[in-house]
């Protein structure tokens, strides 16, 4: 009995021990599983916070894109409105074009001539376009310059009055003569000078050469019947007055004395042609600005004046004015208020274009 009970007790103790061992093992395994789960939970939490951050960034991007989209929508709307406006502008301009007056040009030709280096190009550019840079001049045969003088309405048309200035290179005087014979010339600007290209004082040899170039026999070729019938004025411009010293009256008298034979030869054509003599300097702008007023006054018909031109002519009236004409024969009486001398016709002489002719007198 006692043996049996000892055996039984041993079995029980063993069983208990086994059970205890199994339970311990189970617990250990459970803890390991728990630890693994805790680890995974941690990782999942970290991943979740990453995903949350990414989500926030994406949301911010979405907001930005939404705002940009809204801006683009506004821009698109504005551009559509702009296009609509442009469409209506185009329509308006088309209508205006359809009703616009047609433009025609009336050209008045002014011929500039003189021997080489007298300052023709400098002068032409100065009165035709006073802003021109004289430093860029090059040798020329003939250059053409255009200057719109005015625009006036006439019979449902707009007439653009244009001065076309032909500037002949000095060595092409024969070509200039040809042009005067064949073409309609409305004005002539004859340029002589007191000195050569870079001269600093009056040069009598050069002056004599120019007097020979335009001696009465040569002038006959210029003043042919065609030229006399179309030309409204001839201007003799004695250039480079800056090389003379003295008061402006003395300078003008000296310059005109040098060219007296030419002035007298030109005087010969006075019954048929309006003549004007200026003494000035293309380099310094003396008397140059009066050329425009003079050519306008003599060449452009009164119907060709527009308000701007009238304004300009008022600001720079071209001498002589009524009351300044002195019928004193061929006499030099000092400088005009604008630095020019006017050749006037003696009383009883014929008139040209309804204007009195004049002898030399101050303006």
Residue by residue, DSSP assigns 120-145 as HHHHHHHHH-TT--GGG----SEEEE
Is 265 in contact with 219 (CB distance < 8 Å)? yes
The residue at minimum Cβ distance from ligand GDP is 119
Nearer to ligand GDP, 239 or 361 (CB): 239
d(CA 137, CA 197): 13
d(CA 109, CA 124): 13
Nearest CA to 226 out of 182, 187, 190 is that of 182
Q: Please identify which residue in the block is written with the tokens 């821009």.
A: 75
**At closest approach, how far in Å is the CB of 184 from ligand GDP?**
23
List the single partner that 117 binds among Mg ion, ligand GDP, none, CB under 5 to 8 Å by kind: ligand GDP
DSSP code, position 214: T
Q: What are phi and psi of 107, to 5 degrees?
A: -105, 135
List the single partner that 242 binds among Mg ion, ligand GDP, none, CB under 5 to 8 Å by kind: ligand GDP
Contact track, ligand GDP, 91-120, x by CB under 6 A = -----------------------x-xxxxx
The yes or no reply on residue 258 touching ligand GDP (CB under 6 A) is: no
Out of 132, 140, 160, 196, the residue judged to bind Mg ion by CB under 5 A? 140
**At closest approach, how far in Å is the CB of 360 from Mg ion?**
29
The yes or no reply on residue 121 touching Mg ion (CB under 5 A) is: yes
Out of 145, 163, 165, 170, the residue judged to bind ligand GDP by CB under 6 A? 170
Nearer to ligand GDP, 118 or 344 (CB): 118
**At closest approach, how far in Å is the CB of 121 from ligand GDP?**
3
d(CA 193, CA 114): 9
What are the angstrom distances between the C-alpha of 4 and each of 1, 9, 10, 12, 306?
A: 5, 8, 10, 12, 149
The yes or no reply on residue 206 touching ligand GDP (CB under 6 A) is: no
Count residues binding ligand GDP (CB under 6 A): 18
Question: If DSSP codes are grouped into helix, strand and coil, which group holds residue 337?
Answer: coil
Nearest CA to 340 out of 288, 282, 268, 271 is that of 288
CB neighbourhood size of 68 (10 A): 10
Contact track, ligand GDP, 276-315, x by CB under 6 A = -----xxx--------------------------------
- Footprint on this chain of Mg ion (rule: CB under 5 A): 121, 140
Enumerate binding residues for ligand GDP (CB under 6 A).
114, 116-122, 137, 170, 197, 239-240, 242-243, 281-283
């Amino acid at each position: 009995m006692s043996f049996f009970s000892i055996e039984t007790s041993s079995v029980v103790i063993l069983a208990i021990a086994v059970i205890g061992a199994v339970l311990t093992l189970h617990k250990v395994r459970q803890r390991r599983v728990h630890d693994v789960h805790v680890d995974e939970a941690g990782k999942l939490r970290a991943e979740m916070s990453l995903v949350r951050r990414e989500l926030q960034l994406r949301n911010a991007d979405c907001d930005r894109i939404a705002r940009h989209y809204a801006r683009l929508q506004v821009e698109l709307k504005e551009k559509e409105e702009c296009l609509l406006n442009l469409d209506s502008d185009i329509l308006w301009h088309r209508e205006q074009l359809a009703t616009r007056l047609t433009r025609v040009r009336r050209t008045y030709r002014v011929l500039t001539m003189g021997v080489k280096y007298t300052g023709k190009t400098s002068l032409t550019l100065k009165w035709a376009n006073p802003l021109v840079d004289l430093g860029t001049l090059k040798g020329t045969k003939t250059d053409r310059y255009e200057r719109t003088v005015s625009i006036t309405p006439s019979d449902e048309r707009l007439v653009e009055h244009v001065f076309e200035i032909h500037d002949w290179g000095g060595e092409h005087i024969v070509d200039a003569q040809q042009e005067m014979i064949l073409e309609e010339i409305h004005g002539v600007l004859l340029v002589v000078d007191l000195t050569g290209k870079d001269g600093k004082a009056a040069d009598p040899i050069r002056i004599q050469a120019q007097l020979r170039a335009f001696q009465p026999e040569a002038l006959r070729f210029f003043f042919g019947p065609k030229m006399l019938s179309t030309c409204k004025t001839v201007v003799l411009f004695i250039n480079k007055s800056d090389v003379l010293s003295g008061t402006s009256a003395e300078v003008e008298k000296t310059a005109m004395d040098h060219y007296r034979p030419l002035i007298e030869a030109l005087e010969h054509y006075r019954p048929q042609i309006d003549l004007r003599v200026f003494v000035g300097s293309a380099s310094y702008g003396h008397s140059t600005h009066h050329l425009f007023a003079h050519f306008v006054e003599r060449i452009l018909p009164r119907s060709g004046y527009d308000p701007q031109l009238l304004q300009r002519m008022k600001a720079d009236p071209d001498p002589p004015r009524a009351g300044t004409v002195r019928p004193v024969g061929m006499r030099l009486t000092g400088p005009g208020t604008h630095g020019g001398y006017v050749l006037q016709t003696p009383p009883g002489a014929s008139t040209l274009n309804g204007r009195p002719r004049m002898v030399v007198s101050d303006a």
